[in-house]
């Protein structure tokens, strides 16, 4: 049984429908894809103008026919109770609800409709599939946090079972704790590591001190996927040396989707199927490819909650080789505010 997909369906997320839709989107020609994006942009804006009083008030009386006239949203615009931001027909009982980490200083609760959330997982599974990984069968070594309250803790542990994940604590990275992690790699057929960059880097440094390459102890390993924090080049080299597998960089935002994922050619491929990623200047105008600007993103499918021209607070550069169907993020500048590089 495909336990991961089954768990999504059990919770009301139509993953089968989402996977079929994603396949159809990806199969479009370049011309058809450009048409698809423009039509979906108009559709999601019109939907929220008609069905979301919060968004209608935010937009005001601007000419929404012109994309450039649509205001850029920020996290501060969303510092209202969730119930005041939901579209008509949606409530906390029929949407997926979560909260951001607050790494930018403005944490908030957000929502996605069930189909939008299913599409998020369809995209994530598609990208991991580039490396031969299947959430229904590939065993994951997970370096993430976990809720400390009893209900949240056991809920997350149950999700680990359905998702074929063995979770390691990121709160204790002592040598004694990491020895236990290493012992788990010796006895389990892990196919990949996934988790916070900083925690996985600490594990790699531990292996370096022991002069140990992880794949020699766990030959089933295929790759390591790091997320949430910036991955510096010297740290990436350390991970590749000590793990003996490719290291894949992921860029995402919980309120949106997976934004970019390093493809097998080594490029940071942006999610063009369910998101529109813009790089804008201080006047909210698009910058030329190859120049840095603010990362502003539109969620094309979230009908429950508007994320339209949403400023993430990051700065990035779009590659000159980018197309509408295959945009490439050349560089991400940001998410380093809370990181101190010590000698």
| Number of other CB atoms surrounding residue 64 within 10 Å | 18
| Number of other CB atoms surrounding residue 261 within 10 Å | 25
Q: Return the closest-CA partner of residue 41 out of 275, 223, 319, 202.
A: 275
Per-residue model confidence (pLDDT) at position 36: 98
Per-residue model confidence (pLDDT) at position 288: 98
Cβ(287)–Cβ(278) below 8 Å: no
40: CB partners within 8 A, 6+ apart: 300, 301
In tens digits, the chain (343 residues) has pLDDT values of 589 999 999 999 999 999 999 999 999 999 999 999 999 999 999 999 999 999 999 998 776 568 988 999 999 999 899 999 999 999 999 999 998 765 555 668 999 999 999 999 999 999 999 999 999 999 999 999 877 778 878 888 888 888 899 999 899 999 999 999 999 999 999 999 999 999 999 999 999 999 999 999 999 999 999 988 888 899 999 999 999 999 999 999 999 999 999 999 999 999 999 999 999 999 999 999 999 999 999 999 999 999 999 999 999 999 999 999 999 999 998 754 444 443 3
Mean pLDDT of the chain: 92
Per-residue model confidence (pLDDT) at position 340: 40
**Does the domain formed by 134-245 have CATH 1.10.10?**
no
User: Strand 109-113 vs strand 165-168: parallel, antiparallel, or unpaired?
Assistant: unpaired
Class of CATH domain 1-131+276-323? alpha beta
Per-residue model confidence (pLDDT) at position 156: 84
Per-residue model confidence (pLDDT) at position 343: 38
Cβ(298)–Cβ(275) below 8 Å: yes
- Tens-digit pLDDT profile for residues 53-111: 999 999 987 765 689 889 999 999 998 999 999 999 999 999 999 987 655 556 689 99
Runs of H (alpha helix) within 63-196: 114-129, 150-162, 175-187
Q: Do 1-131+276-323 and 134-245 fold alike per CATH?
A: yes
Cβ(195)–Cβ(226) below 8 Å: yes
- Give the CA dihedral 17, 23, 24, 27, nearest 10 degrees: 180
Q: Say whether 174 sits in a helix, a strand or coil.
A: coil
Domain residue extents for the chain: 1-131+276-323, 134-245
- Tens-digit pLDDT profile for residues 303-335: 999 999 999 999 999 999 999 999 999 999 875
As separate numbers, helices (DSSP H) first and strands (DSSP E) second, the chain gives 10, 13
């Amino acid at each position: 049984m495909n336990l991961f997909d089954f768990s999504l369906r059990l919770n009301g997320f139509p993953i089968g429908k989402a996977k079929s839709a994603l396949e159809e989107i990806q199969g479009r020609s370049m011309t058809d894809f450009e048409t698809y994006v423009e039509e979906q942009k108009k559709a999601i804006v019109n939907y929220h103008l008609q069905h979301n009083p919060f968004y209608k008030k935010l937009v005001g009386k601007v000419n929404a026919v012109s994309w450039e006239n649509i205001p850029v949203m920020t996290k501060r615009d969303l510092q209202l109770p969730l119930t005041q931001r939901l579209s008509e027909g949606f409530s906390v009982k029929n949407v997926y609800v979560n909260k951001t980490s607050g790494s930018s200083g403005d944490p908030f609760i957000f929502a996605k409709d069930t189909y939008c959330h299913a599409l998020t997982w369809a995209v994530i599974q598609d990208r991991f599939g580039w490396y031969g990984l299947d959430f229904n069968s590939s065993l994951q070594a997970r370096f993430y946090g976990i809720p400390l309250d009893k209900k949240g803790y056991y809920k997350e542990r149950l999700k680990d079972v359905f998702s074929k994940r063995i979770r390691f604590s990121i709160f204790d990275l002592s040598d004694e704790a990491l020895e236990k992690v290493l012992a788990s790699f010796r006895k389990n057929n892990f196919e990949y590591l996934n988790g916070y960059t900083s925690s996985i880097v600490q594990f790699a440094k531990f292996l370096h001190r022991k002069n140990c390459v992880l794949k020699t102890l766990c030959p089933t390993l295929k790759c390591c996927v790091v997320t949430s924090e910036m991955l510096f080049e010297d740290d990436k080299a350390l991970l590749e040396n000590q793990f003996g597998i490719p290291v894949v960089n992921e860029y995402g935002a919980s309120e949106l989707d997976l934004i970019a994922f390093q493809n097998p050619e080594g490029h940071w491929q942006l999610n063009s199927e369910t998101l529109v990623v813009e790089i804008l200047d201080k006047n909210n105008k698009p910058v030329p490819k190859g120049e840095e600007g603010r990362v502003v993103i539109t969620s094309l499918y979230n009908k429950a909650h508007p994320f339209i021209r949403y400023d993430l607070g990051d700065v990035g550069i779009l590659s000159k080789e980018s197309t509408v169907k295959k945009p490439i993020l050349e560089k991400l500048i940001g998410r380093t505010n809370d990181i101190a590089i010590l000698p």
